[in-house]
Amino acid sequence: MRAARLEPAPRDETDTPSVREEERHFLAGELHDGPAQSLAAALFGLDLAIAACARSPETAREDLLAARGLLREALDEVRALIAGLRPRLLDERGLVAALQALAAITPLWGPRIAVTARGIRDGERLPAGVELALYRIAQEAISNARRHGEAARVEVMVTIEPGIARLDVVDDGRGFAPGRAPAVAGRGEGLPGMRERAALLGGALEIESAPGSGTRIVARVPLPDDGAAAKERA
């Protein structure tokens, strides 16, 4: 895969208008591609069931069961979005637990997601700003892999080294050309926000990808000091 060079953005406030705008785009895209599509399909299925009631009760039953499945899928998608918007576990148990929960609630039609960690145990804590930034970067990278990369598998790896927290998100999807117009429409929309989140903490984001070769997103952010890498937050 071809690697893009590190491109840290200028430092600014921790919650900037551009980051908030990226989050709005993320939410709009998730709602449009997920629950809205499932609900529209379920409504169509209910219309078919109503039309079939008089002539074929068995056909109507099959249409109702299909619509029920679509409604359940839409509910799963909404729950996943809620969990992503309000990552309660991030506050209570830290980054690793929050990422594991995010992977577990991915809709059934999404890719398989594996989360691994090195240098930090479940329940150990990083500084709050580092945890939130890495969680949001992982969330966006997973969304891109599912919505645009058509990935079957995503690996999320958190590595804590002396003075550095590193996040790798690797997918086996269709890939794209970093620095150019995305090969898939919308694939690059969240990249500026991901870069900015890392840069606001003094870190950087690296993208390795090529069409047909999957994608690796690597975020590195500094930790205050070696001993603060995994302290329990009061």
Q: Residue 10's pLDDT is what?
A: 36
The set of long-range contacts for 99-107, using a CB threshold of 8 Å and a minimum separation of 24, is 99/135, 99/138, 99/156, 99/158, 102/135, 102/138, 102/139, 102/142, 103/142, 103/156, 105/76, 105/79, 105/80, 106/80, 106/142, 106/146, 107/34, 107/73, 107/76, 107/77, 107/80
Q: Residue 147's pLDDT is what?
A: 75
Q: Residue 25's pLDDT is what?
A: 65
* Partners of 161 in the β-ladder: 164
Distance CA 206, CA 1 (A): 12
For 161, the domain range is 2-14+93-228
Residues 127-186 pLDDT 10s: 988 998 999 899 889 888 887 788 989 999 999 999 999 999 999 998 888 766 444 444
Average pLDDT, 10 consecutive residues per value, the chain (234 residues):
37 53 66 69 82 83 82 74 69 89 69 92 86 90 83 94 96 82 47 87 93 93 66 41
Question: Is residue 165 in some structural domain?
Answer: yes
* pTM of the predicted protein model: 0.64
Tell me the CATH number at 207. 3.30.565.10
Q: What DSSP assignment string belongs to 123-165?
A: T----HHHHHHHHHHHHHHHHHHHHTS--SEEEEEEEEETTEE
Question: Is residue 109 in some structural domain?
Answer: yes
Q: What is the token pair recorded at 74? A: 């839409």
Kindly state the helix (H) or strand (E) to which residue 34 belongs, with its residue range.
Answer: none
DSSP class of residue 176 equals: -
Distance CA 214, CA 171 (A): 6
Kindly state the helix (H) or strand (E) to which residue 117 belongs, with its residue range.
Answer: strand 112-118
Question: Is residue 33 in some structural domain?
Answer: no
Question: Is residue 22 in some structural domain?
Answer: no
Q: Residue 1's pLDDT is what?
A: 40
Question: Is residue 75 in some structural domain?
Answer: no
Distance CA 154, CA 167 (A): 13
Number of independent structural domains in the chain: 1
Q: What is the token pair recorded at 30? A: 């998730």
Q: Residue 122's pLDDT is what?
A: 74
> Could you identify the residue written with the tokens 């209910």?
46
Question: Is residue 88 in some structural domain?
Answer: no
What's at 1, amino acid-wise? M
Question: Is residue 85 in some structural domain?
Answer: no
Ramachandran region, residue 202 (left: φ > 0; alpha: ψ -120 to 50; beta: rest): left
Question: Is residue 65 in some structural domain?
Answer: no
Distance CA 47, CA 205 (A): 48
